[in-house]
A = this chain, B = another copy of it.
Amino acid sequence: MKLVTRKMHFSTQGNSEIINLTNTVKKYLEGANLNSGLVNLFIPGATGGLTTMEYEPGLIDDFQQAFQRIAPEETEYLHNLTHEDKNAHSHIRASLVGPSLSIPFENATLQLGKWQQIVFIDFDNRPRKREVILQIIGEG
């Protein structure tokens, strides 16, 4: 068993922008020279989440509307009374979706479903520069 660590860097617009990370993860996996194992992704930050979805323009919009219903931006939040960033809703959405995700690979290939893509959702309410940490644990 070996461990390979890589970091992805990218910019986002925030406001629940959904970034498709699948091709970058595939590229790093190909470079890792491992046959089977687990890819673990983590966002070091409290206002972003990692999950999988069908990356389709209609659904991207539907997701953003759904998060607005689940944790609305405009509700009265204590965090927003004491913090200038007014992003309590970003925090709540991020903690619900979660900061980590694990995906298996075999024959050096991610075992995703046909329409399933790896996404980062930036719930913050402003543009951000983001880092996602990728760990590949597996055998050659």
List chain A positions with a Cβ less than 8 A from chain B: 1-3, 5, 36-38, 40, 42-46, 51-54, 56-59, 61-63, 65-66, 70-71, 75, 77-83, 88, 91-92, 94-104, 106, 111-117, 133, 135, 137-139
> Which of A54, A75, A94, A138 has the most B CB atoms < 10 Å from its CB?
A54
A13 vs chain B, min Cβ distance (A) = 19
Chain B residue at minimum C-beta to C-beta distance from A117? B46
Number of copies of this chain in the oligomer?
A: 3
The prevalent SS among residues of A at the interface is mixed
Q: Across the interface, which residues of B come within 8 angstroms of A113, CB to CB? A: 43-46
Partner of A101, one of B70, B98, B115: B98
Chain B residue at minimum C-beta to C-beta distance from A45? B113
Q: Across the interface, which residues of B come within 8 angstroms of A77, CB to CB? A: 58-59, 62
Tell me if A46 and B36 are in contact (CB < 8 A): no
| Bound complex: CA A2 to CA B38 (Å) | 12
| Bound complex: CA A54 to CA B5 (Å) | 25
